[in-house]
Structure 1
Amino acid sequence: MSGDDEEPSYGSGDELNNIDGQHNKRIPAATTPSSAAASGPARKRSRKACGDAIVEAMLEIAAASKMRAAALSNNVDRFSISKCIRALDDLQGVDQPTYFLALDLFENASSREIFISLKYDKRLKWLQGKCRAL
């Protein structure tokens, strides 16, 4: 290879040629005070700690979401229409108009919750009161 075909050699990189041919000292970026403080093991640890905290928070959110979904599912099962009908069938003294009104009431989640939450001896009186109100 001839001298013209070779890549120019700049030496150690501590000096740069200026346009006018003067040599200036170059300060490597890694040794400047601001870049030295912003890089290095402390910054990497900070990023890792931040990342770990984010992952931990996301796991806590996921766990809370699962717990909430399970609680809602239990609530739905507890006040289901079929459970209300079984409880209605267990009541003594329910006439046919009251029975069918109760079935209509059970379409409403709040009515189902009230009916199931009432003590056994109060359920029929509550249903009869609803019949009179309509």
Structure 2
Amino acid sequence: MRRTGEGVEFRVGTAQMAVPLVLGMASATGLLCLGLRWTADPMTAAELRDCAYAAGVGVLGALALTRSTGVRLTHEHLVAISPFGRRERRIRWADVSGIDVRRTFGVTRVNISLVTGERLTLSAPMSFLDRRFDSRVGELNRWWEAHRH
């Protein structure tokens, strides 16, 4: 949680993205190596190194892409920020009809219900590797309570 002059920002943490990406890339590379071991043409050490380099570049690219995603709370709006800040969705507090948390695959995320019936899952805050998740959800609820009318 970062306080700015106009409000509060919640960003996706590096560890929240790095851990699943690294584990996924390591598993995929290991399965590929294991599968190729049983073929007539097993993977050489150089090919395995090239796969590891490609996986590393993929992880770094995904981290750069997701690190800039998050939510900004201002006095007038809840702003959902897309990767690299290229697109911001501004939602007036008066248009938010409810805030709840949902647990999916062991990770708790915040869902915003709008008066139009639309539901929006926020990229941050997210409970995975975040000890302050509950306080961040409380802060989000306090902003909505204070600014929705």
- Structure number with greater Rg is 1
What is the TM-score normalised by the length of structure 2? Answer: 0.26
Q: Larger helix proportion, structure 1 or 2?
A: 1
Tell which has more relative contact order, 1 or 2 (C-alpha 8 A, sep 6+): 2
What is the TM-score normalised by the length of structure 1? Answer: 0.28
